[in-house]
Amino acid sequence: MFKLEKIKFKNILNIEEILLEENRVTAILGSSGGGKTTFLKLLNNMITADQGTITYQGKDIESYDPVSLRREIVMLPQDPQIFKGTIKDNFTKTEAITDNENSRNLNYNELLQKVSLTQDLNDAADNLSGGEKQRLALARVMLLEPKVLLLDEPSSSLDKKTEEKIIKRVVDYVRKNNRTLIMVTHSSKIAEKFADKIINIENGKIIK
């Protein structure tokens, strides 16, 4: 699905070659500041590599319209920003800003259940805790039903028990719906338990 060859980005990332397969769960491990977020940002063209090529579905990523690409490959940043208003507003705004029509049949309450949020849709999103905001942001990504989910430390603000529960639900969703998940995580336990492939990135290089 993704093929990266001779990638260089500033002095942050230097990758010889790597293949990321479709409909698989890939976990990315590594020390902080090692280039994991940069790696994810390259995949949805939030940044462009200084050297090398990245292909997605056999085509150079630079040949895609960047916005259409990002609607197919949606990224959840490590510090997601919640929109002002209610939880429901966060869903409707996400649909509006991405002209998304596919999500019309989705039930917002089911989405909340998937990420273990028990709040009412009309509750203010601002009152949520850090971990709850992170889960709402994850639900926002799932609402868009992207082909590829790029999740940057999606469970960093969660306790161990909730972390495993949430990741399990995301992975189940991905496998059931034939999606691709590429996830940065700090937990090697999570990576080993759920991922088909684990990539270790240290000091901008992939460690075999």
Partner 1 sequence: MSGTIDIQIMQLVFAYIFVLVLLFIVKQKEIGHKGEILLASVRMTIQLIAVGFILEYVFSNQSPIYSILILLIMETFAIYNIFGRVEGRISKKLKLIIAGSMFLGTSISILFFVIAVVGLDPWFRADYFIPLSGMLIGNSMTGISLGVNYLINGIRDNKNLVENYLMLGAEPETAVKEISNRAFYNAVLPTINSMMGMGIVFLPGMMTGQIIAGASPIIAIKYQIAIMMGILGSVTLTVFFMVNKGAKTFFNSRKQLNL
Q: Which is nearer to partner 1, 44 or 185 (CB)?
A: 44
| Minimum distance of partner 1 from residue 44's CB (angstroms) | 7
Q: Which pair of tokens denotes residue 25?
A: 């769960």
Site for partner 1 in 22-51 (CB under 8 A): 44-48
* DSSP string computed for 35-46: SHHHHHHHHTTS
| Minimum distance of partner 1 from residue 193's CB (angstroms) | 26
Q: Which pair of tokens denotes residue 56?
A: 């997605």
| Minimum distance of partner 1 from residue 208's CB (angstroms) | 29
| Minimum distance of partner 1 from residue 144's CB (angstroms) | 7
Binding residue for partner 1 (CB under 8 A) from 62, 89, 145, 164?
62
The single-letter code of the amino acid at 16 is E
Q: What are the φ and ψ backbone dihedral angles of 123, each rounded to 5 degrees?
A: -70, 150
The answer to whether the beta carbons of residues 149 and 169 sit under 8 Å apart is: no
Count, residues near partner 1 per rule CB under 8 A: 24
* CA pair distance 94, 84, nearest whole angstrom: 12
Using the rule CB under 8 A, give the single segment among 5-13, 50-58, 71-79, 114-122 that binds partner 1. Answer: 71-79
Neighbours of 121 (CB within 10 A): 16
Coil, strand or helix at 4: strand
Kindly state whether residue 147 participates in binding partner 1, applying the rule CB under 8 A. Answer: no
Can you give the binding site for partner 1, defined by CB under 8 A?
44-48, 62, 66-67, 70-71, 74-77, 79-81, 94, 97-98, 100, 140-141, 144
